[in-house]
């Protein structure tokens, strides 16, 4: 069969497909696997009890289950959910959002697909194709293959701060970002359509500070492009931001030039596929129209489950008093176990984990590419994600060894699995060095 460019680009080999497929296959096998790969949130009994309680309430309420399952939602999302959400965000952060500022999608992954392609690619007025600028590599694997137009992403390398022998942190190289913006649209460099960052960053666990965000916001406005902020792990839910570790104040941020992505996945509801976009009226209405074409309507289950929890504050309480401390402890444990497993004989460095559910391991001078290390670990039933996938939008990656020396590790799984998995990773790295 002859596929179109669309078919080949979405249906070909993509990192995100490998990632999701590996996860599914590993779970389906009979051998014990250490699942430190994909982005599954942890199973947290206190949080799961909240979903059970809500399901029971719905079962006990006349007609509630039928309304939830038996109707198409509107392409923008359920008015009651949107109203509860805007009330919460306005109350918490002093914003003045109305219902026209919120669109729901079937997972925020879908929202990003629509948004990134809505902004980048061939221009409507016949002008040159436009690109999305990712100011801080490494960046979320899920964006890497979403652009329908080739070369519609451009990214900037970070500066790397070595905090101590085994800890580092990426910073935005603002000079490089500004150079990219300044040169765009002149000569051979295609114009920029938007700036996009995840905050907390998947994969590194970085949390960009308010200062850094204000600088990005100011640059975006100066160059007349929207700033997309992916808040999948951020505040007010799931609040996987470690306030005692971040490098400075890090409050959520929104204005008419910002497109803020949120999700119900990392509070523990990835199966409901509920993404949230907060944007200007124009962005929300275009996104909702695109959503109608692509999906007709959204899944209702997440919205119905969560709506009263937005209204009565339960979701904020659960995020702050259960989810955040749960991951905070797990991150500490994982750091300690990894340091013990590596010992002093193998060079390693972890990115400072300021938020998100991942450890980002850098193995300086690793004698093999992390893709090969990943295959070797998979053979030993440890599933991680090789770092290569998180470096995209840079045409000269061949010259950047760092992009082949990193690995993303999900630390949210059971303590036994994380500790054993980290032990196997350290052992395999040692074997690679001894070869
Ligand atoms: C940074 C980031 N953005 C977006 C997503 C997509 O999440 P979902 O489609 O489940 O809302 C993920 C999932 O792992 C993510 O890590």
Residue 6 scores a pLDDT above 90: no
pLDDT band at 17 (very low <50, low <70, confident <90, very high): confident
Please tell me the pTM assigned to this model: 0.96
Q: What DSSP assignment string belongs to 289-307?
A: HHHHHHHSS---HHHHHHH
Determine whether the shortest distance from the Cβ of 231 to ligand 1 is under 6 A: no
Least confident of 20-34, 245-259, 287-301, 372-386: 20-34
Alpha-carbon distance of 144 to 141, in angstroms, equals 5
Q: What pLDDT was estimated at residue 266? A: 98
Determine whether the shortest distance from the Cβ of 108 to ligand 1 is under 6 A: yes
CA end-to-end span of the chain: 45
Q: What pLDDT was estimated at residue 235? A: 97
Give per-residue pLDDT as tens, 100-141: 999 999 999 999 999 999 999 998 888 889 999 999 999 999
Q: What pLDDT was estimated at residue 18? A: 74
Determine whether the shortest distance from the Cβ of 138 to ligand 1 is under 6 A: no
Give per-residue pLDDT as tens, 343-397: 988 899 999 999 999 999 999 999 999 999 999 999 999 999 999 999 999 999 9
Determine whether the shortest distance from the Cβ of 232 to ligand 1 is under 6 A: yes
Determine whether the shortest distance from the Cβ of 40 to ligand 1 is under 6 A: no
Q: Give me the chain's average pLDDT, please.
A: 95
pLDDT band at 16 (very low <50, low <70, confident <90, very high): confident
Q: How far is CA 128 from CA 182, 192, 323, 423, in A?
A: 16, 10, 45, 51
Determine whether the shortest distance from the Cβ of 238 to ligand 1 is under 6 A: no
Ligand 1: which of 137, 263, 273 to mutate, most ligand atoms within 8 Å of CB?
A: 263
Two domains, one topology: 5-46+318-434 and 72-313: no
Percent of the chain with pLDDT over 70: 100
As to burial, measured by CB atoms within 10 angstroms (0-12 exposed, 13-18 middle, 19+ buried), residue 224 is: exposed
Residue 414 scores a pLDDT above 80: yes
Determine whether the shortest distance from the Cβ of 355 to ligand 1 is under 6 A: no
Q: Positive or negative CA dihedral for 105, 108, 112, 113?
A: negative
Residue 186 scores a pLDDT above 90: no
Percent of the chain with pLDDT over 90: 86
Annotate 396-420 with three-state secondary structure. Answer: CHHHCHHHHCEEEEECCCCHHHHHH
Q: What pLDDT was estimated at residue 378? A: 93
What separation in Å is there between the alpha carbon of 228 and the centre of ligand 1? 14
Alpha-carbon distance of 307 to 305, in angstroms, equals 6
Alpha-carbon distance of 91 to 73, in angstroms, equals 26
3-state secondary structure of 197: strand
What separation in Å is there between the alpha carbon of 140 and the centre of ligand 1? 8
pLDDT band at 43 (very low <50, low <70, confident <90, very high): very high
Ligand 1: which of 16, 19, 41, 109 to mutate, most ligand atoms within 8 Å of CB?
A: 109
Q: What pLDDT was estimated at residue 77? A: 97
Least confident of 258-267, 318-327, 331-340, 341-350: 341-350
Determine whether the shortest distance from the Cβ of 258 to ligand 1 is under 6 A: no
Determine whether the shortest distance from the Cβ of 113 to ligand 1 is under 6 A: no
The CATH code for residues 72-313 is 3.40.640.10
Alpha-carbon distance of 335 to 265, in angstroms, equals 24
Question: Phi, psi at residue 385, to the nearest 5°?
Answer: -120, 120
Alpha-carbon distance of 162 to 350, in angstroms, equals 10
The CATH code for residues 5-46+318-434 is 3.90.1150.10
Q: What pLDDT was estimated at residue 187? A: 75
Determine whether the shortest distance from the Cβ of 278 to ligand 1 is under 6 A: no
Facing residues of 386 across strands? 407
What separation in Å is there between the alpha carbon of 264 and the centre of ligand 1? 9
Determine whether the shortest distance from the Cβ of 349 to ligand 1 is under 6 A: no
Structure tokens at 321: 């008093």
Residue 286 scores a pLDDT above 90: yes
Give per-residue pLDDT as tens, 290-309: 999 999 999 999 999 999 99
Ligand 1: which of 15, 16, 19, 39 to mutate, most ligand atoms within 8 Å of CB?
A: 39
Average pLDDT of the segment spanning 242-266: 96
The residue ranges of every structural domain in the chain are 5-46+318-434, 72-313
Average pLDDT of the segment spanning 16-27: 74
What separation in Å is there between the alpha carbon of 13 and the centre of ligand 1? 20
Q: Positive or negative CA dihedral for 365, 367, 372, 378?
A: negative
Q: What pLDDT was estimated at residue 115? A: 97
Q: What pLDDT was estimated at residue 10? A: 82
**Beta carbons of 104 and 82 less than 8 angstroms apart:** yes
Q: What pLDDT was estimated at residue 21? A: 79
Q: How far is CA 254 from CA 82, 192, 380, in A?
A: 16, 21, 45
Average pLDDT of the segment spanning 26-40: 86
Give per-residue pLDDT as tens, 74-95: 999 999 999 999 999 999 999 9
Average pLDDT of the segment spanning 326-354: 96
Q: What pLDDT was estimated at residue 185? A: 79
Structure tokens at 361: 């391991």
Determine whether the shortest distance from the Cβ of 105 to ligand 1 is under 6 A: no
From the CA atom positions of the chain, what is the Rg in Å? Answer: 21
Alpha-carbon distance of 43 to 270, in angstroms, equals 11
Determine whether the shortest distance from the Cβ of 39 to ligand 1 is under 6 A: yes
């Amino acid at each position: 069969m002859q596929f179109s460019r669309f078919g080949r680009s979405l249906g070909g080999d993509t990192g995100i497909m490998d990632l999701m497929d590996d996860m599914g296959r590993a779970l389906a096998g009979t051998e014990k696997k250490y699942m430190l790969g994909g982005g599954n949130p942890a199973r947290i009994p206190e949080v799961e009890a909240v979903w059970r309680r809500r399901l029971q309430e719905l079962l006990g309420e006349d007609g509630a289950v039928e309304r939830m399952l038996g109707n198409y939602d509107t392409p923008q999302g359920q008015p009651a959910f949107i109203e509860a959400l805007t009330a919460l965000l306005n109350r918490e952060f002093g914003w003045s959002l109305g219902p026209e500022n919120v669109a729901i999608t079937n997972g925020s992954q879908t929202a990003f697909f629509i948004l990134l392609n809505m902004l980048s690619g061939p221009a409507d007025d016949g002008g040159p194709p436009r690109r999305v600028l990712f100011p801080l590599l490494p960046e979320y694997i899920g964006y890497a293959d979403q652009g329908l137009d080739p070369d519609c992403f451009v990214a900037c390398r970070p500066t790397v701060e070595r905090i101590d022998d085994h800890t580092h942190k990426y910073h935005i190289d603002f000079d490089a970002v500004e150079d990219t913006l300044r040169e765009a649209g002149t000569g051979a460099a295609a114009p920029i359509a938007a700036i996009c960052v995840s905050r907390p960053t998947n994969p590194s666990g970085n949390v960009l500070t308010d200062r850094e965000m204000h600088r990005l916001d100011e640059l975006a406005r100066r160059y007349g492009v929207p700033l997309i902020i992916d808040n999948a792990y951020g505040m007010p839910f799931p609040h996987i931001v470690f306030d005692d570790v971040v490098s400075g104040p890090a409050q959520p941020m929104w204005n008419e030039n910002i497109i803020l992505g949120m999700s119900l996945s990392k509070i523990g509801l990835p199966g409901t596929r509920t993404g949230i976009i907060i944007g200007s009226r124009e962005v929300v209405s275009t996104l909702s129209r695109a959503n109608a074409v692509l999906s007709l309507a959204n899944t209702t289950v997440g919205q119905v489950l969560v709506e009263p929890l937005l209204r009565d504050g339960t979701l904020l309480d659960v995020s702050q008093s259960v989810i955040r401390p749960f991951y905070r402890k797990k991150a500490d444990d994982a750091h300690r176990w990894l340091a013990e497993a590596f010992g002093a004989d193998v060079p390693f460095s972890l990115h400072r984990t300021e938020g998100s559910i991942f450890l980002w391991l850098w193995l300086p001078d690793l004698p093999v590419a992390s893709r090969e290390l990943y295959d070797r670990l998979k053979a030993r039933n440890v599933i991680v994600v090789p770092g290569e996938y998180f470096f995209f939008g840079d045409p000269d990656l061949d010259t950047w060894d760092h992009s082949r020396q990193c690995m993303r590790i999900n630390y949210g799984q059971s303590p036994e699995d994380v500790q054993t998995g980290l032990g196997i990773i350290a052992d395999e790295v040692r074997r690679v060095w001894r070869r």
